[in-house]
Amino acid sequence: MRRPIRIAVTGAAGAISNNLLFKIASGEMMGTDQPVIMQLIEVPGRMEALRGIAMELEDCAFPLLHTITLHDNVEEGFENIHYALLIGAYPRGPGMERRDLLEMNAEIFARQGKALNDFANRDVKILVVGNPANTNALIASRNAPKLSPSQFTALTRLDHNRAKGILANHTGANPKNISRIVVWGNHSTTQYPDLHHATILDEPAMQQISEEWYRSVYIPKVQQRGGEIIAARGQSSAASAAQAIVDHMHDWVLGTSPGEIVSMGIFSDGSYGIQKGIVYSFPVRCDYGRYQIVKGLEINEWGLQQMRLTEQELLDEKSAVNHLLPTATAASHEDLSICLRSGVTLYADGTGPQASSKYLTTNRVL
* Distance of closest approach, residue 237 Cβ to ligand NAX, in angstroms: 5
| Contact of 255 with 286, CB cutoff 8 Å | yes
Residues 131-160 that bind ligand NAX (CB under 6 A): 131, 133, 155, 158
Among 129, 205, 274, 284, binds ligand NAX (CB under 6 A): 129
Report if residue 193 touches ligand NAX, rule: CB under 6 A.
Answer: no
Angstrom distances, CA of residue 64 to CA of 30, 34, 95, 133, 217 = 10, 7, 44, 29, 43
Please, what is the minimum distance in Å from the beta carbon of residue 39 to ligand NAX? 12
**Residue closest to ligand NAX, measured at CB:** 14
**Coil vs helix vs strand at 29:** coil
Which one of 208-216, 235-243, 292-300, 320-328 is the stretch in contact with ligand NAX (CB under 6 A)? Answer: 235-243
Annotated catalytic residue within 187, 197, 248, 333: 187
Q: Is 71 part of the annotated catalytic residue set?
A: no
For ligand NAX, which residue of 173, 238, 297, 355 counts as binding (CB under 6 A)?
238
Max distance between CA atoms of the chain, in angstroms, equals 58
Identified binder of ligand NAX from the candidate list 26, 117, 189, 236, rule CB under 6 A = 236
CA dist 276 → 180, 265, 273, 341, 356 (Å): 24, 13, 9, 21, 22
CA distances from 283 to 91, 135, 180 (A): 29, 18, 8
- Asked if 187 touches ligand NAX (CB under 6 A), the answer is yes
- CA gap 198, 14 in Å, rounded: 34
Q: 26 or 236, CB closer to ligand NAX? A: 236
Cβ 32 to ligand NAX shortest distance, Å: 25
Cβ(140)–Cβ(116) below 8 Å: yes
Q: Which of 89, 183, 198, 200 binds ligand NAX (CB under 6 A)?
A: 89
Q: Check binding of 20 to ligand NAX (CB under 6 A).
A: no
Do 303 and 278 touch, CB atoms closer than 8 A?
no
Min dist CB 131 to ligand NAX, Å, is 4
The minimum distance between CB 73 and ligand NAX, in angstroms, equals 8
- Among residues 260, 289, 271, 117, which one has the least CA distance to residue 199? 260
Q: Contact between 237 and ligand NAX (CB under 6 A)?
A: yes
Cite the beta strand spans of 29-91 per DSSP E. Answer: 36-41, 65-71, 83-86
Distance CA 76, CA 215 (A): 48
The arrangement of strands across the sheet holding 199-200 comes to 178-179, 199-200, 203-204
- Is 129 annotated as belonging to a binding site? yes
Taking the complex as a whole, the smallest distance from the CB of residue 362 to ligand NAX amounts, in Å, to: 33
Task: Respond yes or no on whether the N-terminal peptide bond of residue 63 is cis (omega within 30° of 0).
Answer: no
42 binds ligand NAX (CB under 6 A): yes
DSSP code of residue 185: B
H runs (alpha helix) in 79-200: 98-119, 133-142, 157-171
11 annotated among ligand-binding-site residues: yes
Which of 41, 54, 137, 138 binds ligand NAX (CB under 6 A)? It is 41
End-to-end CA distance of the chain: 22
**Total binding residues for ligand NAX by CB under 6 A?**
27
Q: Which residues carry a binding-site annotation?
A: 11-17, 92, 98, 105, 112, 129-131, 162
Q: Which residues are catalytic?
A: 187
Q: Which residues bind ligand NAX (CB under 6 A)?
A: 10-11, 13-17, 41-43, 46, 87-89, 91, 108, 129-131, 133, 155, 158, 187, 236-238, 241
Annotated binding site for NAD(+): which residue ranges? 11-17, 105, 112, 129-131
